[in-house]
Amino acid sequence: MNLGWMIKLGLSISENIRAQQEIERARALEAQARSEALAQSQRAKAETASFKRTAYEQKIARESVAVECPNCGSTNTRIRLGSAGCCAYCGTAIRVSMQGIAYVASSIDRAQSKAESEIREKGGEEKK
C-alpha cells in the first residue's frame, strides 16, 4: 500500500508540474499576442497619421499656388487661393485671387496674413 500511495503522489506531482508548465506557456502566448497587438496598433496609428498628412498636403496643393513675389521675385512661397500670405524670402504680404493672380497685399491683408501665420505656428501646424 505504501508503494501505491507513493505512485499516486508522484503522479499527482507530475500532473501539477505539467499544469504549471501549461499555465506558463499560456501566459507567454498571451504576452506575445499582447505585444503583437500593440505593435499592430502602433503601425495602424502611424499609417493613419501618414494618410491624414498626405491628404492634407494634397488638399493644400489643390487649394494653393506657388507665387512669384512681386517685390523680390522669389518663387518658394505657396499661398491658398483667395487668401493672403507672406513671401518666405523677403516677408512681403501677397494676396492671391481665386484665379491664382498674385499681387502686393494691402496693410489689412498684411496684418491678417501675419496673424494667420502666428496662429499656425502656435498651433503646431506646419507653415506651407
On whether the pTM is more than 0.75, the answer is no
Q: How many CB atoms lie within 10 A of CB 79?
A: 23
Can you give the residue ranges of every domain in the chain?
Answer: 1-63, 68-122
The per-residue pLDDT for 21 is: 93
Range with lowest mean pLDDT among 8-17, 108-117, 118-127: 118-127
* Mean pLDDT across the chain: 83
Q: What is the 3-state secondary structure (H, E, C) of 26-63?
A: HHHHHHHHHHHHHHHHHHHHHHHHHHHHHHHHHHHHHH
What is the tens place of the pLDDT at every residue in 23-66? 999 999 999 999 999 999 999 999 999 998 888 888 877 888 88
Residue written as grid cell 493613419? 48
The CATH class, in words, for 68-122 is mainly beta
